[in-house]
Amino acid sequence: MPGAGKPLCCILAFCLLWPLCFSSPAWGEDCRSKTYPPAGPTFKGTVPTYIINLDLPPSRRWDKLMSEKKTELKTVIHSIKDLANAFIPSGKVIEIVDTKLVWLISTLPYPFNEELKGIANASGIPPGEILLFNIFYEIFTVCTSIVAEDKTGKLYHARNLDFGLFLGWNVKNSSWIITQELKPLVVTLDFQRNNKTVFKSTNFAGYVGIVSGIKPGIFTLTMNERFSLDGGYIGIFEWILGRRDGMWMGFLTRTALENSTSYQEAKDQLVKTRLLAPAYFILGGNKTGEGCVITRSRLATLDIWDLDANGGTWYVVETNYDRWQAPLVLDDRRTPAMKCMNQTKQENISLSTIYDVLSTKPILNKLTVCTTLMEVSEGRSESYLRECIGSCSPW
C-alpha cells in the first residue's frame, strides 16, 4: 500500500509535488449540464437510509447501523492505523489510542459520550479507535457548499463532501485509499422522536457529529473545515489537558439540528458558541434571505455572509477559504463554482442545475465521496456517491 510504511516526509513531499507530475495543471472543464438525474461514470450509487431513534438510550441508538456496517468501519479504521504507524512506526500510536484515549470519551458531553461507547460495544471496535475515527472527521474534511435562492424565494442547499486528503494515495489506480474505503460507509440518517423525523443527515457510519443535515421546513446546515494557524490541534490538546469549554464542531451542528427550532436560533448558536477548532458553517433557512456562511475562529465569529437576493447576492459558496482571501492557486474550487453558478443564473437554479455545478471538475475531484442536495420547504434530501474518473484534480 502506498503511504503505509513510508516516513512522513516522503508522504508529504509526494503529496505536495504530485501536481507537478502533470504536464497540464488544468483540471477544470466547462460547466456541466444535464447531469441530473445522476447517471454515468461519475455516479457510483445511491445512499441507504437508516433510522436513528432518539427515544432509545444513547448507547443503543446505533446498534442496528453498526451491526450492518461494522466490517466496512473496521476496514477504514485499519487503514487509519496503517497510516498512523507509517507516521510513527513503533506501533506506539495505536497502543496509546487503545489504552490512553479511552478515558477521553467520558469527558465528552452527553449524549455523545454514551453514543460512542454504544458504537464501540455494537461494532466490537475498541472505544479509543472509535474516538480517533470521530476526531478524524473534524480535521480532514474539505468540501464545497452552496446555498441558493430561486426567483420565488425557494432555498436550495447542496454540497460535495471531499474527504481523505493526505491519507494515502493508491498509485495503482490513482485514488485516495480512505476516500474509496469511506464510500460504503456513507448513509442517510433519519433521526426520529416519537417515530417522526426531527432531522436528517448524510453521515459516515460510526461518526456521531453532523457535517450535512436538514431540519425539514426549518433549516439546512453544512460544515466545512477551515484551515488556520489557530487550528484544531490546539483545541484538541487543550481538551486532553483538561480545558473543556470549547465545543466539538460536529457536536455543535448536531445539537443545532436536534434542538434548535428556527433558522435564527440555529444561527445564534453557531455564531456564539466557543469552538474547539475554526470552521465554516453554511446555514440555509426556509424564507427569502435566510442563508449565510459563518466564518468562525475558535473564539469568535469573523464574518457572516448573508444572502440578499434583492441586492444581487442570490447564492453563497464556501469551499475551505475565507471569502476575503484568494484560495490557494492549486486548490481553487471557488472560482469555477461561482462561474458555473453565474452561468446558470437565478432564473434557472434548481437542485438539478446545482448538481451540474457540483459535477464540474475540479469541484468534483479525487477526494469527492458524495454529493448531497437539500430543499428545505419540501424536506427533500438526496445523496449520491461520486467518482471522478480520468484526469481529475487530486483535491
Ligand X SMILES: *[C@@H]1O[C@H](CO)[C@@H](O)[C@H](O)[C@H]1NC(C)=O
Catalytic residues: 143
Kindly tell me which residue out of 98, 258, 308, 322 binds ligand X, with binding defined by CB under 6 A: 258
Residue number, 286 or 295, with CB nearest to ligand X: 286
Is position 34 an interface residue for ligand X (rule: CB under 6 A)?
Answer: yes
In the set 31, 62, 86, 111, which binds ligand X (CB under 6 A)?
Answer: 111
**Residue in 49, 106, 107, 259 binding ligand X, rule: CB under 6 A:** 259
Chain center to CA of 74: 20
Q: Which three cell numbers stand for residue 129?
A: 479507535
Q: Give yes or no for residue 310 binding ligand X (CB under 6 A).
A: no
Q: How many residues touch ligand X (CB under 6 A)? A: 30
On whether the CB atoms of residues 168 and 176 are closer than 8 A, the answer is: yes
From the list 232-240, 265-273, 324-332, 337-345, the region that binds ligand X by CB under 6 A is 337-345
**Nearest distance in Å: CB 111, ligand X:** 5
Q: Which three cell numbers stand for residue 103?
A: 478515558
Kindly tell me which residue out of 29, 33, 96, 166 binds ligand X, with binding defined by CB under 6 A: 33
Compose the 353-382 pattern: x for residues touching ligand X by CB under 6 A, - for all others. Answer: x--x--------------------x-----
Nearest approach in angstroms of CB 91 to ligand X is 24
Closest to ligand X by CB, 29 vs 234, is 29
Strand partners, 220: 214, 284
Binding-site string for ligand X from residue 37 to residue 76, where x marks contact by CB under 6 A and - marks none? ------------------x---x-----------------
Closest-by-Cβ residue to ligand X is: 217
Tell me whether residue 59 or residue 203 sits nearer to ligand X (CB atom).
59
The verdict on 255 binding ligand X (CB under 6 A) reads yes
For the bound state, the minimum distance from the C-beta of residue 229 to ligand X, rounded and expressed in Å, comes to 28
Comparison of 75 and 228: residue with beta carbon closer to ligand X: 75
Q: Report 120-159 residues binding ligand X (CB under 6 A).
A: 121-122
Candidates 107, 264, 348, 391: give the one binding ligand X (CB under 6 A). Answer: 348
| Binds ligand X (CB under 6 A): choice among 93, 338, 379, 380 | 338
Nearer to ligand X, 122 or 369 (CB): 122
SS3 letters for the chain? CCCCCCCHHHHHHHHHHHHHHCCCCCCCCCCCCCCCCCCCCCEEEECCEEEEECCCCHHHCCHHHHHHHHHHHHHHHHHHHHHHHHHCCCCHHHHHHHHHCHHHHHHCCCCHHHHHHHHHHHHCCCHHHHHHHHHHHHHCEEEEEEEEECCCCCEEEEEEEEECCCCCEECCCCEEHHHHHHHHHEEEEEEEECCEEEEEEEEECCCCCCCEEEECCCEEEEEEECCCCCCHHHHHHHHHHCCCCCECHHHHHHHHHHHCCCHHHHHHHHHHCCECCCEEEEEECCCCCCEEEEEECCCCEEEEEECECCCCECEEEECCCCCCCCCCHHHCCHHHHHHHHHHHCHHHCCHHHHHHHHCCCCCCCCCEEEEEEEECCCCEEEEEEECCCCCCCCC
CB of 134 to ligand X, least distance (A): 14
Confirm or reject binding of residue 264 to ligand X (CB under 6 A).
no
Give the largest CA-CA distance in the chain: 60
Q: What would the grid cell of residue 262 be?
A: 428556527
Given the rule CB under 6 A, which residues bind ligand X?
33-34, 55, 59, 111, 118, 121-122, 170, 173, 175, 180, 194-195, 217-218, 254-255, 258-259, 286, 335, 338-339, 342, 348, 353, 356, 377, 387
